Amino acid sequence: MAKVLMTGNAAIGEAAIRAGCQCYFGYPITPQNELTEYMATHLSRRKGCSFIQAESEIAAINMVYGASLAGARTMTSSSSPGISLKQEGISYLAACELPAVIVNMSRGGPGLGSISAAQSDYFQATRGGGHGDYRTIVLAPSSVQELADFTHYAFDLADKYLIPVIILGDGMLGQMMEPVEFKHEAPQELPVRSRALRGAKGRPSRIIKTFTSKPAELEEINWSLFRRYQLIKKHETTFETFMTDDAKLIVVAFGIAARIAKGAIKTARANGLKVGMLRPITLWPFPSEKVQELAKSVKQYLVFEMNMGQMIEDVQLALGGNGEVSFYGRPGGVIPTPSEVYKVISRLYYQKGLK
């Protein structure tokens, strides 16, 4: 298929429909409204599909829970304050092993914050977010093409591991327009998931729940979830490296910040500085093993995030003291430029005596 020019938000919508998303439930919040509007236009009248503009984020995520119970590929989207409201439902999805895709086009916080792009929801996304011990797979795209590709991938991962998958974008990715190619056609029909609730026809009745008065039963549920999380860590950890082979300093950045950092690293290389980048694509599971591998030859790390330092904790945990970590961050929805990041890189490079 030829490339088309689209906003990131619309690209997610189109990719979701092509991934066989049957039910979308949303609630207006900037900067992700184009996605909800895209689904209203393109999904709501599609055969066998459903779109609801819900009365709240809480209702929307619980509709997702219901649609997932019934075996549908289902999705909701929002931005930071709305994602906070959805945490109740995400915890239930995780507990009951129900697949769903949740898009967070994150914005500045805390509180009502700003509508500008930020990365301050890293902790919330990668630590479960709601109550109880659980994880969600978290994908961090950095282009409109990746928004489309990862949306399709997210539905597959959710179904494969029976887990909610978070696409952690930001206001900038959602709003910007780029050429995008859709690699899949919408399926005519999807198989019904084996544990779906569709009435006890030709089989015993089925219960989907976690509540129990026996703590040992719940402990077993937690163990079972974490056995699956180990499997996900082993098989689904993804990352991108950029010019790391001879690097003396590695920038670690995700999402749109990685894209900004890439520009800065190109300038650094042009000026003879040996700088590379590690970009985690799955924020959970975090590519700790890759960090440890890099640490065998590289001792200096610069973590760059559009927040006050959240992913840095995962980098430090992975290094275990086996490298020196510096941080540069801009919180509140401020978007730094590549030349600003280049200045930070070159200053650090000289300060650490790498030249």
Q: Which is nearer to other proteins, 196 or 335 (CB)?
A: 196
Other CB atoms closer than 10 Å to residue 211's CB: what's the count?
A: 7
3-state secondary structure of 57: helix
Q: Which is nearer to other proteins, 60 or 154 (CB)?
A: 60
Minimal distance in Å, beta carbon 111 to other proteins? 22
Among 41, 56, 224, 337, binds other proteins (CB under 8 A): 56
12 burial via Cβ count (<10 Å: 0-12, 13-18, 19+)? buried
Give the interface segment with other proteins, choosing from 53-61, 77-85, 134-142, 327-335 (CB under 8 A). Answer: 53-61
Could you tell me which of 186, 165, 169, 187 has the C-alpha nearest to residue 178?
A: 169
Give the interface segment with other proteins, choosing from 17-25, 226-234, 269-277, 282-290 (CB under 8 A). Answer: 17-25
Could you tell me which of 276, 280, 284, 287 has the C-alpha nearest to residue 253?
A: 280
Size of the site for other proteins (CB under 8 A): 41
Among 74, 124, 126, 145, binds other proteins (CB under 8 A): 74
Give the interface segment with other proteins, choosing from 64-72, 139-147, 285-293, 314-322 (CB under 8 A). Answer: 64-72
246 burial via Cβ count (<10 Å: 0-12, 13-18, 19+)? exposed
Q: Is the dihedral of CA 212, 217, 219, 224 positive or negative?
A: negative
Q: Is 89 in the site for other proteins (CB under 8 A)?
A: yes
Q: List the beta strands (DSSP E) in 61-130.
A: 74-78, 100-106
Q: Which is nearer to other proteins, 93 or 115 (CB)?
A: 93
Among 32, 68, 126, 326, binds other proteins (CB under 8 A): 68
Q: Which is nearer to other proteins, 191 or 272 (CB)?
A: 191
Q: Which is nearer to other proteins, 92 or 286 (CB)?
A: 92
Bridge-based pairing of strands 177-180 and 4-7 is antiparallel
Contact present, 197 and 208 (Cβ < 8 Å): yes
Minimal distance in Å, beta carbon 97 to other proteins? 12
Q: Residues 21 to 50: which contact other proteins by CB under 8 A? A: 22-23, 25, 50
Give the interface segment with other proteins, choosing from 28-36, 207-215, 288-296, 298-306 (CB under 8 A). Answer: 207-215
Contact present, 15 and 42 (Cβ < 8 Å): no
Among 10, 11, 43, 63, binds other proteins (CB under 8 A): 63
Q: Is 218 in the site for other proteins (CB under 8 A)?
A: no
Q: Is the dihedral of CA 209, 102, 302, 287 positive or negative?
A: positive
176 burial via Cβ count (<10 Å: 0-12, 13-18, 19+)? middle
Q: Would you tell me which residues interact with other proteins (CB under 8 A)?
A: 22-23, 25, 50, 52, 54-56, 58-60, 62-72, 74, 88-89, 92, 96, 196-202, 205-211
